[in-house]
Each structure stands twice: as structure tokens, then as C-alpha cells.
Structure 1
């Protein structure tokens, strides 16, 4: 390619970060907001925001197709070579996570344009700052910039958490901010320990250096790794660091809660990169650092979360607990430390992100049509759209539970098939048992919401706007598409899992052939799919 097309192609890897940053800045200049600025300004903000996210979605699709062709797309900011300069790396996993980010963010903006963005100032600008932080966390190639993008998305989430104000949001928002500040301090401490003993924060370089560190230095390095597990476990709501999430997500506005469904996946993604690869198989004395802890904590977290879902008194709180269940399921698969299990975890991550985001939006659609009772799980008047909302609820619940042929069933089946050894009976028991209890919780909620009509109470037509329904349907459409394209999607996740384990290929792509030639050989299963190497 030549000319502007060639330049755009060369800088494709940084567009998921630059595009939302530029959009957020433009929206601030245009005075994105409501109130005294008037409807014309708000309409302009909606158009700019939607157009930017649509363009970002197109870029993310191109990145996924490019990543699936094989290899890594590496972008050296300022032309500085890794590991000394800032580097962005696009592989199959990061490209998929960027695509999920754009899909959910676009649906959230469409939904919020139905009226939620008028509840406060600068909603669209803050959403784009959050998208920038999410995309940056998924494409960064070093730990320090992972910290930077964590802070960007967290600062944006603080604003979104209290968007629309209200006593409940401020009450739950303050502990959310304080706990995340503490986690950020631990993040910096863990990063400092790793840099002190490994001499680098570049993830590809760390994967080469960690296996060569032994003795007392390895013990201290592992302490830094465990600190990072605490940080990432907090972000991902891993037991026992999950108690903040249900009340916080339930108190947030529905569009914010739907976008927050991506934030737990950032924690999962970081555990994949750091503890699955850097401290994973082939890491010398530090290999399997979190293996004794991750699987038991993930399974226990699923059990605790499903009990919380059964006790939930509101639909958003039920969905928040289900989000914790889904994260526990993903981390349980990651904790098996096999390519087949990692492939299943990646597939399940895609479907759970879409379905949880859709459920947060659907919770408000249902609650808005139940009059003064709202989203509380108690009898009320009939909803205005029982057939439509009931069908959407049934579709989402079926995927969460794991009923065939939906992707929730396919993902759980892949996880169960990947289980082997002493852990298999425990994983089978928990996954199937939690699925049954989730069925009971969602069946109870559905019967109360759509069947337990109390005489004398009336519902309402609020929430029946086509714009609100369209955003929710689009996310559930993505869930159906994952089921329809299960075979090619599985091939993609299989290749993504194999690429994750390929330390040598990543080192050659990011650090150059002369550095990658000395890489420690990765663990390779006999049936693994060979990912092509090379930076572009």
C-alpha cells in the first residue's frame, strides 16, 4: 500500500487508542453535555460519539482479520526499539478483546442516547476516555503502560459510576474509588519488584528473563508476581476480592454497568498475560506461580457468587453476581494451564462479555415497565412488552446457564472437555452445579418479573423506545452469532491460545530476531496449532 492508505495501515495498531482519545478531546471542545447547552449540542455529541465508535469497530474488525492471518502486529512508538521504548502489540487475543470493547461501547452509546446521556455532563467524552483505557490495556506490550491504561479507564469509571448522581451511587462510588486507589498502589509496588529483579517491564522480554532468574532473586520476583495477582484479582473480582462488585455495578446506571462488564475482563486479560505466560509453563523456578491458588479460588468464587445471585433482591444485583460467576468460570479454565482450556476460556470470555452487558441493559428495560416496583424482584403490574422482553430475557438466561445450542453451552462444554487429572471432578461438579443453581435463580427472577402480576398495580410503557431495545438486541445478536460461527470461532481461539504460549515467536516479533533466537522453548502440546511468527 502507498499514500494515505499505506500510512493508515502502518499505524493501524495505535488507532484503537488514538481514535477514542481524539474523540473525547473533540467532545470536550464541543461542550458535550446536557442542561444549558440544549438539545442541539447533545445531538451533535451523540452523532460524533456514535460515528467514532462505528469507525473503531471497523478498525477492530480489520485487526481481528489481520491477526488471524498469523503473527503479531508490533508498533514501536517514536521508533524506539523494545524493550526500551513503548510498544503496542496486536495478537489474536488482544485483537478480539478490542473488538469486544468496540461492540459493547457502541451498544452502550446507542442505549444512552435514549436519554441517559442527558442526566449529566460529558457522558460521551468520559465513555471515550474509558474506551481508550480499555483498548490501551489490551494492546500494550509492557507492564508499566498497562498500569497507565488501568488508571485511565479507572478514572473514567469513577465519573461514570456517579453519572446521573443519586445517593446510592455516591454511597457505593466512594468505597469503589478508595479500593481501586489501594489496588493501584499495590500495582506500582509489584511492578517495581519485577523491574528490580528482571530489569525490564516489557512482557515479551520478561518472558525471556524470568526463566533465567533463580535462588533468592526468584523468590522475591515471585513475591512481586503474587502482588500483581492480588491487583488483577481485585479488578477481575476473584474470591475473596469480589465483594465490592455486586453492589457497585448494581448502583451504577445501566449503560455504565454494561460498559463495566469489560473492566472485569481487563483483570482476566492481565492474569492471562502475566501469570499465564510470564509466570506460566517454561518460566523456570517461577513456573506455575499461581497454579496452586487460581483454580481453587476461581471455583470457590463461582459457588459464593451463585449463592449471592440466589439471594439477590433486584435484577441488576442478580446480573452483577452472575458476572462474578462468569469471571470465576473463565479463571477456572485459565487455571488448568493447557492450550485447550485457554481456548475455551477465550471463547467463554467473548460470550459472557456480550451477554452480561446485554443483561444490564435489559434489567432497566424490564424495571422501567414495572411502575414503582422497578427492578426489585417482587410482584408488580404487567410490563408493556412482555413478549419482546421475555424473549430477550429467555435468550440471555439460556446462554448464561449453558443451554444448547447457545455459546454459553459451547464454552462450558469446551472447558469440561479440557479438564483432566485430579482437578477434573471438582471442575465438573462446580461448573454443572453452579449452572443448575443459576438456572434456579434466573427462573425465579423471570417468573416474578413476567408472571407474578399483583392486582391493583400497573406497569408502564417507559423503556419501550426502539433505540433502547435496538442496543440490547444488538448485543444478544452477537451472542447468537457466536453460536452460529462456533466452528471458525473455535479455530480462532485455538490459534490464540497457541500464540499465547509461543514465547519464542513473541520475542522475535517484539524484540527482533537476534533477541528472540535465545528464547526459552515454550510448552507445546502435540495437538497444538502452530501460529505463524513475525512482526508486521
Structure 2
């Protein structure tokens, strides 16, 4: 048994408690504690990616209860990747929040920030379905506070929709978990996979129904069609650093689909194998198509970026819906790209809003912005990357998914949806860039502020991912291919978890 899987979960929780007791020390102390913790856990998360590269599943049994009788945390390539991605976003978001004083707009920002990381890292590392529900609730409760941080009518309205639909999702989650426990008698993911494979035929209908209900729940979290309507207003209405951190939130739902359904209904599941694969592809087509049209029709920059997040979800659903290691590797490459670049775009949009002053993020001609050349160059780079144009990482991510789709029976549909939606997104971003940076009113006085120098490193650091992923494409894709192979090896995951022994006390 290894304790490595526990530290990315425990450290944010401990820091959250420390921040509660340190509240009397003032904002400066809270900033220092939060930043030190995020830097430390980020370094740990990146180290764990290297540790997980040996293809060994490291299992931590809470309370020393031998699986399947207790809760386990599992560190493997995929969970290490997701925790590392979460912490990189957290670091950039926190730096930006401190640089722009977003954390001063309400109480408990730093405590909620750490609890959000606790929930996110726990969701990626848990190997127990009910514990996944618990971590979902923790991250959602923290996200409610962060989403509403700073107040405002529009933020409160969007937050209410977000809360209500996620409460519905949580209720359905409990129904699905209860049904699965009733028929299988276990909630340990590895043990459940064995029991699904051995389940009698008369139980297949109930297991399939519960599995599809879980797909609805995870679809709500991932904002997949037809459960995506809450996302544009929520992400566009909250503060920029929180929207940037929330770029990983939809990926939690996707991760849950891949991990839970991929393990329960993998190749070993017999008649129930591949239960959700056809649904993923169809949902991906519709989500991607509607997101592209939503981005084209958007009248506000932050709403348009929120639709780009939805477009990335649609693309990933198509990639994972192909259900092959090659397609999963391409989807993981695109997941890294889209998460980091969408977060950078939310931060850049906030700098543009500040520079436009009274014009805000409305996609209408306005006064020339201070440092408009710098902001325009950053916008241009992000637009190219997120639209999937060469030579940046978005192009290579989509290319890997399209290459994997060559052998699929629905190849023509995959190609048509991805390529046409990419064209629509290019048109939408070109229109926005032209409106913001070229159709300026020279006679109108500028009421905006130049970008804060302390905030630029967060944007530039995330944007740097696009060229780096191209320069390091060969080793990165090789690592992701190995990750995809480990992900599809459900028997290896099951054996590793269930073979974990208890820790014996010294005589």
C-alpha cells in the first residue's frame, strides 16, 4: 500500500483548516499560505506524474481496510495527469486572483479555493463510487461559494441555475449508486467490475439502467448535450480566475465517464461491454455542433469562451466514444490543450474587459484599448490554438482524434462534425477579434485600464502550453499512448486494487 495517492487530497484539506484559523492574520497571510500550499501541491502533482510513469497502480486503503471493504485512493497515469492539470490551473488562477485583487471581493475566498482543490483531487484519485459522490459534493459546495464570490445580480441568477441543476444531478447520482449497490453489493470500483462481469442475465437490465443513469449524472457535470444549458451563463458570470479554474470542472464529469463506465463496462463486462460508447459519440456530435453555433451567435466575449469550453467537451466525447486506445490518447492530448488554453482565454478576456472600460465584454466596436497590440497578439494566439488551426496544439489534438476515427464505421460523421464546427469557430473568433481590435472608434475616449503586469504571467504561462505541446509532441504523445493503454487495461486496474494487502504493524 502506498501513501502517495493520499497527499494531493490531504494537503488542500489541511491548508483549508489552517486558513480558517489564520483568518485573524489578515488577507496577506491568507495569500501567503494559499500560494505556498498551491506551489507545494503543484510540485508534488508534477512529481507524481513521473512516479506514475512506471505503469504501477499505487493504492492507498483508508483506515487500512483491505479492498473491497474500505475506501481506496488509486494513483495511476490518468489520475496523476488530471491532478497535475488541476494544480497547474489552480496556480495560474490564484496568481491572477491575487494580482487583480479578486480575492478581496468577499470573505473566505482562500478557504473555498483549497476546499475546491480537495474535492477535485479526491474525485480524480478515488477508487470508490460512493466516495466519488462525496468528493463531487465537496467540490460543488466549494464551487457554489466561488461562483457567487463578489455578488451581483447576474452572478446570483447564473449561480442559482448552476446550483439547482447540480442538486438534481446529485439526487440522480444517489439513485444510481443505490441501485448498483442493491444489485452488486459493493461500491468499490474494481470489485464492482468483477461483479458486473459475473452478474446473471436477469440483472443486466437493472445494471444497464443504473449505468445509463450514471451517464446522465456525469453528463450534467460534463455539460454534455442536452444537459449543458447551465454552463455559458455560469462561466461567463463568475470572476475570471474562478472561470479559469472551472475549466477543469467539466473534465471531472468526463473523467468519471471514462473511469467508472470504462471500468464497469469494459471488455471484461460480457454482454454489458461498451454500454455507453454509442451514446457518447452522438452526444459529442450534437454538443460540438451546438457549441460552435452558440459561439458564433454570442454577443459577449466571455459567453463565447464558455461555448468554446462546450466545444471541447463535444470533441472529447467523440474521442472517448471511439473507445480505442489510439482515440483515447488523442482525446487526452486534446484534453490537456483545451483545458489550459480555455483557462488562459478566460483570464485574457478579463484583461480585455478592464482595458475596454465601459464597453466591457460586449462584442461591439468601442474605443481603442491601452496596450491593444499586446492584448490583440495574445487573443490571436489563443484563437488560433483553440480553433484548431496549425501549427499549435489544437490542430494536433484534433488530428490525432480524426486519425483514430479512420477505422470507425461512423468516420464520415466524425469528420464532418469536427471539421465543420472548427470552421464555424474560426469564423466566430475572427469576427470577435475584428470587432474588438480593428473596428475601434478613434474619436471615442478610452475609459479602460492597461493590463496589470502582475497578472500577465498567469496568462502567458497557460498560453505557453500551445507551442510546448507541439515542440514536445513526440514524448508527450508516447506518454499519453501508454496512459491510454493502461486506461483500457481494466483487468490490470482490478487486480492491482483487489490485491492490495493491509499494512502490518511492526512486532
TM category, shorter: over 0.9
Q: Following the alignment from structure 2 to structure 1, what is the Cα–Cα distance between the partners of residues 60 and 468? A: 31
SS across alignment from 2:6: helix
2:384 counterpart SS class:
helix
Q: How big is the shift at 1:396?
A: 1.2
CA spacing shift, 1:204–1:197, aligned 2, 3 Å = same
Q: Using the alignment, how far apart are the partners of 1:328 and 1:22 within structure 2?
A: 36
Alignment of 1:54-453 (within 5 A): 54-114=39-99, 115-419=101-405, 420-453=407-440
- Aligned partner of 1:20 in structure 2 is 12
Question: d(CA) in 1 for partners of 2:57 and 2:291?
Answer: 37
Q: TM-score, normalised by structure 2?
A: 0.96
Once the two structures are TM-superposed, the CA of residue 88 in structure 1 deviates from its matched residue by 0.4
Give the number of aligned pairs: 499
CA deviation string 1:306-364 (max 9, x = no partner): 11100101110000001000001001111111110111111111111000111111111
Whole-angstrom distance in 1 between the partners of 2:291 and 2:75: 33
What is the SS of the residue equivalent to 1:283?
helix
> Quick check: 2:266–2:490 contact (8 Å CA) kept in 1?
no
Counterpart contact for 1:364–1:463, Cα < 8 Å: no
Residue 405 of structure 1 deviates from its aligned partner by: 2.4
Moved more, 361-370 or 203-212: 203-212
Give the whole-Å Cα distance in 1 for the aligned partners of 2:85 and 2:37. Answer: 15
Is the counterpart of residue 478 in structure 1 residue 465 in structure 2?
yes
SS in 1 for 2:455: helix
Moved over 6 A (4+): none
Contact 2:358 2:447 in 1 (8 A): no
Counterpart for residue 523 of structure 1: none
Q: Secondary structure at the match of 2:323?
A: coil
List alignment gaps of at least 5 residues for structure 2. Answer: 502-507
Shift of 1:145: 0.6
Q: 1:463 to 1:132 in 2, by over 3 A?
A: farther
CA distance in 2, matches of 1:153, 1:513: 28
Residues 281-320 of structure 1: per-residue CA shift (max 9 Å, x gap): 3311111211222101111110011111001011100000
TM normalised by structure 1 equals: 0.91
Shift of 1:461: 5.0
Name which of 33, 36, 46 aligns with 1:48.
33
RMSD (Å) for aligned C-alpha atoms: 1.4
Question: Is the contact between residue 214 and residue 285 of structure 1 (CA under 8 Å) also seen in structure 2?
Answer: no
**More off after superposition, 282-291 vs 445-454:** 282-291
The 1:460/1:56 distance shift into structure 2, 3 A limit, reads farther
What is the CA deviation profile of residues 206-253 of structure 1, one whole-angstrom value per residue up to 9, with x for unaligned ones?
A: 222212113221110110001100000011011000011111111111
Deviation at 1:513, TM superposition (A): 7.8
Q: Residues of 2 paired with 1:150 and 1:64: CA distance?
A: 23
Q: Which runs of 5+ in 1 are unaligned?
A: 1-8, 32-36, 515-536
Summarize deviations over 1:431-454 as a string: whole Å, max 9, x none: 111111000000011111111112
Counterpart-to-counterpart distance in 2, 1:69 and 1:289: 30
Secondary structure at the residue paired with 1:238?
Answer: coil
